[in-house]
Amino acid sequence: MSQQQQEEPGEADREEGVPDREMYGQQSPQQERMAEKTRRANEDAERREREAEEGIETASIKVFRYDPEVEGKQEPRFDTFRVPFEKGMTVLDALMYARDHFDSSLTFRHSCRQAICGSDAFFINGRQRLGCKTQIQALEEPVRVEPLPHMDVVKDLVVEMEDFYEQMEAVEPYFQDEDTPPIEELEEQRQSPENREHVKMSTRCIWCGACTSSCNIAADSMYLGPASVNKAYKFIMDEREDDADITQHRMEIMESERGVWRCQTQFSCTEVCPKDIPLTEHIQELKREAVKRNLKFW
């Protein structure tokens, strides 16, 4: 069928009252998307020419794209954006600029922008990092931004985190006391400075998932992963959790087939942790604790 035949409605269409888009100056959704894409491409080219003339420094980011709900975007690809560079610009800043000025469909998580919420963990230049903490000027260009490995991709840089959260909840990350006294008899549970110093680093976890993503063993859903083991470490070593039965219960979780013995001491979790938590050290300490608890002298 010729292009002219495709564009002109047939007699049957006219008789049945099928509206002629060209008659009313309308475009199909696909034509509108193509026109918008062309417009953005032209604006981008003009902007680059203007920046080159004005001597504006730019940074290049290459971003993973994938959208399973949109036809034509279901095949993973990379889009490259050039954003105006400023001293102190982070990868998250660059992504936000690209989203706000070039492609509003670009999807990623972010919140506090202060390396506290842990929502913007990405795979940046081959390493798990927080977008808000990673400086553009410290990376080689083009900066390649991908979703966290070993996690299902929902859209673009957004990954499914439910499995990670279930692993964290599996270690029961909260204080428990089966013999809570009446409220009028409650007393403050004090912690010694020495014990606080011992567990301090473990409390820094922001649930970003970077360590679990970096761990090849954690790709196996049987392993709880370094983040959840670190969380268990915090409560096992905290002297305020003084119920021996609860501590033993936590240790049984750590000694199970999903626990610390699956760790192969790769140190990848420690290397990528944005809060510098010595995760491998904590896992090894729990292994030693498990051995000591099972030693019997008689």
CATH number, domain with residue 54: 3.10.20.30
Measured in residues, the chain has a length of: 298
Residues 143, 168 within the same domain: no
Please return the burial class of 290, using the count of CB atoms within 10 Å of its CB with bins 0-12, 13-18 and 19+: middle
- Strand 58-65 and strand 143-146: the pairing is parallel
The pLDDT assigned to 18 comes to 47
The whole-number average pLDDT for the span 291-297 is 79
Asked if residue 23 has pLDDT above 60, the reply is no
**Predicted local confidence at residue 181, as pLDDT:** 67
Structural domain includes residue 33: no
Residues 101 and 82 in one domain: yes
Q: Please check the confidence at residue 120 and state whether its pLDDT lies above 90.
A: yes
What is the model's pTM? 0.78
pLDDT over 60 at 136, yes or no: yes
Clarify whether residues 81 and 150 are in a common domain. Answer: yes
In a domain, 153, yes or no: yes
Q: What is the predicted pLDDT for the residue at 28?
A: 77
30 found inside a domain:
no
Centre a 10 Å sphere on the Cβ of residue 154 and count the other Cβ atoms it contains.
17
Distance of alpha carbon 284 from alpha carbon 229, whole angstroms: 10
What is the C-alpha separation between 64 and 275, in angstroms, rounded?
Answer: 25
Q: Tell me which of 38-47, 157-166, 274-283 is least confident.
A: 38-47
User: So what's the pLDDT on residue 34?
Assistant: 74
Mean pLDDT of 249-256: 93
User: Is residue 54 situated within a structural domain?
Assistant: yes
Is residue 169 located within the same domain as residue 272? Answer: yes
19 inside domain: no
Residue 213: predicted pLDDT: 96
pLDDT of res. 282 = 97
Label each residue of the chain as H, E or C. CCHHHHHCCCHHHHHCCCCCCCCCCCCCHHHHHHHHHHHHHHHHHHHHHHHHHHCCCEEEEEEEECCCCCCCCCCCEEEEEEEECCCCCEHHHHHHHHHHHCCCCCCCCCCCCCCCCCCCEEEECCEEEECCCCEHHHCCCCEEEECCCCCCEEECCEECCHHHHHHHHHCCCCCCCCCCCCHHHCCCCCCCHHHHHHHCHHHHCCCCCHHHHHCCHHHCCCCCCHHHHHHHHHHHHCCCCCCHHHHHHHHHHHHCCCCHHHCCCCCHHHHHCCCCCCHHHHHHHHHHHHHHHHCCCC
Total count of domains within the chain: 2
The mean pLDDT of 7-33, rounded to a whole number, is 56
Bridge partner list, 162: none
61-99 pLDDT, tens per residue?
Answer: 999 999 999 888 889 999 999 999 999 999 999 999 999
Domain with 240 in it: what CATH number?
1.10.1060.10
Position 45 in a domain:
yes
**pLDDT tier, 106 (very low <50, low <70, confident <90, very high otherwise):** very high
pLDDT at position 11 is 46
Using the predicted structure, report yes or no on whether residue 103 has a pLDDT greater than 80. Answer: yes
**15, part of any domain:** no
Query: What is the pLDDT, as a whole number, of residue 37?
Result: 73
User: What pLDDT shows up at residue 164?
Assistant: 95
Would you say residue 244 lies in a domain? yes
Answer yes or no: are the C-beta atoms of 228 and 211 closer than 8 Å. no
Q: Are residues 136 and 211 in the same domain?
A: no
- 128 plus 166 within the same structural domain: no
243 in the same domain as 204: yes
Q: Which residue has the higher pLDDT, 38 or 137?
A: 137
**Range of the structural domain that residue 95 is part of:** 38-159
